[in-house]
Amino acid sequence: MRTTMDLAGRWTWTVDTDGRSPVPDLAVPLVGRAIEAQVPGAIHLDLLAADLIPDPLVDQNENEVSWVSRCDWRLGRTFAAALGAERIDLVLDGVDTVASVAVNGRTVGSTRNMHRSFRFDITAVTAETNTVDVRFTSAYTEAEHWERVLGARPSAYPQPFAFIRKMASSFGWDWGPTLPGCGLWREVRVETWSTARIAAVRPLVAVYEETGILTAHIDLERTGSGATLPLHLEVEIAGQAVHAEVPPGEDSATVVVAVPDVRRWYPRGLGEPHLYPVAVSLWSGKEQLDEHCTRVGFRTVAVDRAPDAQGTPFVVTVNGRPLFVKGVNWIPESVFPGAVTADRVRTRLVQAAEANVNLVRVWGGGVHESDAFYDACDELGLLVWQDFLFACAAYPEEEPIRSEVLAEARENVVRLSSHPSLAIWNGNNENLWMRLDKDWAAQPGGELTWGERYYLEWLPELLRQLDPTRPYTEGSPWSGSWAHDPNDTDHQTFHSWDAWNEDDYTVYRDSSPRFVSEFGWQGAAAWRTLRDAITDPELRVDADNVRHHQKAIDGHAKLARNLARHLPPTSDFDRWHLQTQWMQVEAVRTGVLHWRASWPRTTGIIVWQLNDLWPVTSWSAIDSAGRCKPLYFALRDSYAPRVLTIEPGDGALELCVVNDDEEAWDTTAYLARRGLDGVTAAQWSHPLSVPPRSVTRVVLPSAVAEPSDPGAEFLVATVDEERALWHFAPPGEARRHGTPLEATVTAVTGGLDIGVRSDHLARDVLVQPDRIHPAATVDRGFTTVLPGETEIFRVRAPEPLDPASAQAAFVVASLRDTIDPD
Ligand code: BMA
């Protein structure tokens, strides 16, 4: 039977002194020094733990540690091996990135692709005690070499990430620092085996009414003596075992199992994500040689792109049922890929699921996500859209890049094929669009290859061979062909970025793209997260350290310009901080609700972005410390199965009642136009019968929809538990009144309940729990308190909280508190 010895844990780094490494003069000389390493891990983290560099994520230390990325490094350890098996393999699930690997001083293999795994036969060089030595060449040395050889070409960023198969965003992005590192970022082990082993299992599923069909494609590897033996495979699922003989000389087999009365896997909102364990075992006579355990889920998935009268839709359909995609874009959880644990990934995905998300898009500047990521999505009923790893640049189609791309794609298509959550493969992020929109052809290097054949030929062909069960889209955005602009609101997927970059969020309401696979708005990270990342005694909006934690070109200026459209300017940090978070909520909520109300023309939204990989002002809903920004709660509420929104229709306000549920919604809508002091100026009610998975729009009569005094009135719609508000005036122009918020703080088990009451409308009250305690959380974001009502914010923490702590500045604050008195 194959045995495995885990080589995770303690290893040792030394800087490679072959002359290229720009080793700085440190207080403790680096050359010759042994530095403790953790595997899986990353060079920066180990240097930090050894106190050899400052925290790269604090202040502007990113710049100070840039030498680390330019050095060559050696990573080694010793290991004992049990001899006797026919084969001993060193298996590396992830090498970041350019390395040569030696065992007992003999080179056994080399790597130049972080997105592949490697298996090196070390039988001939292995003794009872051994050394393994991994010599990393700086990623820059490799990338700049191929950039010179193949020719520089257009890119959205100055770094050479398109010339090396390494997580693009480790070179920096418009939300991330430039810290490309090296290391063994996934598991490492020694495997010993004889006769044969299971090399790969590719279980594809189909479902016909009540019957699930599992087709398991199994690849074997044999030793020299195993080549002449007949072997035997067993595939077990749902209490059935199906057998297959593998004659001598053959090294693959396909086993088909029918599962009657199958329980299907459904994504969130459609049903339960039912999973079936599958065990594949390999035998030689009565001797078991190997076993591979996995899980599958029976479901069909398709994207309906049949042209219609309005253009080309993009309808994700699971088990034959079309669904409205409530998605989030996912970026790597750390700029140091080896630092991402299974627990961390799971926590984040649970947060997504609790925010009513039903699809996570793994963006192409990151990685093919981990088994832990996909296991969690399978269990949580989250669909996954996985990009192939290309983003925002022209990529060379020449060698050695092409072979590496195809090898990594082949391996990951097989590795991820068992996961029912994996619903869509996507060719790239924005490259087809940028080719046209940024006029790449006219730029230096524009005459060179740029990646089109990956997206339009090679990757779809590879999927046809290895996994025809899942839909493929050539790019995001993509309109289906060059006949239309790749980013066309009438055809397939659309990225909505003009609003953030140039216009205003209100323009979201001007169109209803068929499927919005990216849109978003920046907002500051939680206060505590920024406070921990910036050591200035006081946080100031314009401080260099604060600006360093903003990576978008002109990011602060865009924030200021966008805020100025809705609020009087402020230079006070705490006010600015709350205002950016408020604006992020307003913008994203406006887009989400408008596009949900545009169903069935618009069939999905993927908000940019769920998570962050360092403390930064970015588009994320959850910051790098795992703290929920107010956007998180707005997303949860606007992704709820049933929502209301008041939208400016054709000359009149409309109430849109969105019912993304199995049941019809038979009810009554109550509308009231009220004064900020609560007095009702007009009211109206209307019976509703909203069929399942549909939207009903009701034009509101002018009596409720038209204010007599816009600065002093608001509109509220109530349908059962749901509520929607419409403010007739921007927050800076609403009538002021003297009454302050009344906050009643009560100590309860696990934290504090903060009841907020107001005699007048208190627009957008926010409780910031991290200003009370670093680990405190709250159950809601910006909440408007209606006149005379009380809203409870539940603050929870791992230790008792002093009610007086809630009195500190900006723990409880409303938007109004950020606007300077006239
Ligand atoms: C899109 C994404 C990312 C980027 C984001 C925000 O272009 O694909 O590349 O981070 O917008 O600008």
Q: What is the pLDDT of residues 171-186, one digit of tens each?
A: 999 999 999 999 999 9
Q: Which pLDDT value is given to residue 41?
A: 98
Is the CB of residue 392 below 6 angstroms from any atom belonging to ligand 1? yes
Q: Whose CA is nearest to atom 10 of ligand 1?
A: 174
Which residues of 558-679 form beta strands (DSSP E)? 604-607, 642-648, 653-659, 665-675
Q: Distance of CA 221 to CAs 242, 250, 353, Å?
A: 21, 9, 40
Q: Which pLDDT value is given to residue 19?
A: 63
Q: Report the atom number in ligand 1 closest to the C-alpha of 364.
A: 8
Q: How far apart are CA 352 and CA 213, in angstroms?
A: 31
* Residue 544 alpha carbon to ligand 1 centre in Å: 24
pLDDT band at 821 (very low <50, low <70, confident <90, very high): low
Q: Which pLDDT value is given to residue 822?
A: 53
pLDDT tens string 519-577: 999 999 999 999 999 999 999 999 999 999 999 999 999 999 999 999 988 999 999 99
Identity of residue 793: F
For the residues 447-470, what does the mean pLDDT come to?
Answer: 98
Nearby residues of 67 by Cβ (< 8 Å), 6 or more positions away? 22, 23, 24
For the residues 699-705, what does the mean pLDDT come to?
Answer: 97
Task: Look at residues 132, 129, 161, 128 and name the one whose alpha carbon lies nearest to residue 147.
Answer: 161
pLDDT > 70: percent of the chain: 100
CB atoms near residue 627 (< 10 Å)? 22
Fold of 195-296: Immunoglobulin-like (2.60.40)
Q: Report the atom number in ligand 1 closest to the C-alpha of 174.
A: 10
pTM: 0.97
Q: How far apart are CA 194 and CA 14, in angstroms?
A: 35
Nearby residues of 536 by Cβ (< 8 Å), 6 or more positions away? 543, 545, 546
Q: Whose CA is nearest to atom 12 of ligand 1?
A: 174
Instruction: State whether CATH 3.30.70.270 applies to domain 643-733.
Output: no
pLDDT band at 24 (very low <50, low <70, confident <90, very high): confident
- Reading the block at residue 611, the tokens are 């998570």
Q: Report the atom number in ligand 1 closest to the C-alpha of 619.
A: 6
Q: Report the atom number in ligand 1 closest to the C-alpha of 520.
A: 6
Best mutation site among 173, 496, 501, 608 for ligand 1, i.e. most ligand atoms within 8 A of its Cβ?
608
* Residue 391 alpha carbon to ligand 1 centre in Å: 9
3-state secondary structure at position 807:
helix
pLDDT, averaged across the chain: 96
Burial profile 783-813: b = 16 or more Cβ within 10 angstroms, e = fewer: bbbbbeeebebbbbbeeebebebbeeebbbb
For the residues 384-406, what does the mean pLDDT come to?
Answer: 98
Domain boundaries along the sequence of the chain: 3-191, 195-296, 311-640, 643-733, 742-819
3-state secondary structure at position 94:
coil
- Reading the block at residue 559, the tokens are 């924030």
Is the CB of residue 174 below 6 angstroms from any atom belonging to ligand 1? yes
* Domain at 311-640, CATH class: alpha beta
- Homologous superfamily assigned to 3-191: Galactose-binding domain-like (2.60.120.260)
Q: Cβ(367)–Cβ(388) under 8 Å?
A: no
pLDDT tens string 780-811: 999 999 999 999 999 999 999 999 999 999 99
Is the CB of residue 429 below 6 angstroms from any atom belonging to ligand 1? yes
Q: Report the atom number in ligand 1 closest to the C-alpha of 476.
A: 8
Backbone φ, ψ for residue 464 (5° rounding)? -60, -40
* Residue 644 alpha carbon to ligand 1 centre in Å: 29
Which residues of 297-414 form beta strands (DSSP E)? 301-304, 315-318, 321-322, 325-330, 359-362, 383-387
Is there a shared CATH topology between the 195-296 domain and the 643-733 domain? yes
In order, the DSSP letters of 499-527 are HHHTS-GGGGGG---SEEEEE---BPPPH
pLDDT band at 733 (very low <50, low <70, confident <90, very high): confident
pLDDT tens string 612-640: 999 999 999 999 999 999 999 999 999 99
Task: Look at residues 611, 779, 643 and name the one whose alpha carbon lies nearest to residue 717.
Answer: 643
pLDDT tens string 138-163: 999 999 999 999 999 999 999 999 99
Q: Whose CA is nearest to atom 8 of ligand 1?
A: 429
Is the CB of residue 175 below 6 angstroms from any atom belonging to ligand 1? yes
Fold of 742-819: Immunoglobulin-like (2.60.40)
For the residues 650-657, what does the mean pLDDT come to?
Answer: 95
* Residue 716 alpha carbon to ligand 1 centre in Å: 35
Q: Whose CA is nearest to atom 6 of ligand 1?
A: 174
pLDDT band at 735 (very low <50, low <70, confident <90, very high): confident
